[in-house]
Amino acid sequence: MANLQTIGKIGPILDLFTADCPEWGVREVAATVGIPRSTAHSILASLVGTGLLMCRIRGRYRIGWRVVELSEALRGTVDVRSCAAPHLERLVEVCGETSHLAVMERGRVLYVDKLLGTHNISVQGAKVGSRLEGHGTAVGKVLLAQLEDAELGRMLESTPLRRLTPETITDPTVLRSALRQVGTVGYAVDLGETIPDVHCVAAPVRDELGSVVAAISVSVPAARFRVHRAELTRAVVDAARATSRELVDSSLPGNHDEVVNLARRVS
């Protein structure tokens, strides 16, 4: 049991290492995660041994080079990011708005790609690699909407819906209703629910089984979104469907016509 408890602490410790906070010491890790310093030191040393972390001078830790190796291994598999890349580019060309690709990772939205918009006034958007709570974002709603009721219920019970702006949904019943609507219409919106005066629309990317594996979105200044909402929604849905078709095509090599027909069914 002790070993399992230790393994359970590895994820929260690795989560500490971000672009904004790339370096941590033993005392800081222990205080932030809420574990004894001896336990923090032991886990950090083990992660150094695997190459996931490196120890710098004065006992400071950073992400190790093994992460690069693992990243390349991921690229060698069917990668939703590479499938989505040309469609994100096309989305920016068509709309001129900042576009994102996000996945659900351990109950939070993980942004895995972003292209900045081309308008003079554009939304900067979330940083690649950043994690956000899903209930206030369009991509998050798309990803939450595909969860089984039991899994969604456990998530809502364990994590209160934090208010990010006056528009954020904080009532689980209201959120469930919004997620059902996402399943009905095939896309989700964020109307200033994460950042005031920034609106977003997102649509699902599906794999060869029809499961939602990612979401594509655009982030738009509120005034411009209100004028162009219909066009932006169509463009995002088209980009997500095109990515789904490409993902299916990459996942199921073989008879091209059969692959294309399956891709059309799941999109």
Which CATH number does the domain housing residue 15 bear? 1.10.10.10
pTM of the model: 0.71
Specify whether 91 is located in the same domain as 163: yes
Last residue of a domain, one of 42, 69, 96: 69
Instruction: Kindly state the average pLDDT of the residues 107-136.
Output: 90
Specify whether 156 is located in the same domain as 251: yes
The pLDDT tens digits for 31-59 are: 999 999 998 998 998 899 888 898 877 78
Q: What is the pLDDT of residue 4?
A: 53
Specify whether 110 is located in the same domain as 55: no
Instruction: Kindly state the average pLDDT of the residues 131-148.
Output: 93
CATH number of the domain to which 131 belongs: 3.30.450.40
Q: What is the pLDDT of residue 8?
A: 75
* DSSP per position, the chain: -HHHHHHHHHHHHHHT--SSS--EEHHHHHHHHT--HHHHHHHHHHHHHHTSEEE-GGGEEEE-THHHHHHHHHHTS--HHHHHHHHHHHHHHHH-SEEEEEEEETTEEEEEEEE---SSS----PPTT-EE-GGGSHHHHHHHHTS-HHHHHHHHHHS-----STT----HHHHHHHHHHHHHHS-EEEESSSSTTEEEEEEEEE-TTS-EEEEEEEEEEHHHHHHHHHHHHHHHHHHHHHHHHHHHHHHS-S-HHHHHHHHHHH-
Please check the confidence at residue 258 and state whether its pLDDT lies above 70.
Answer: no
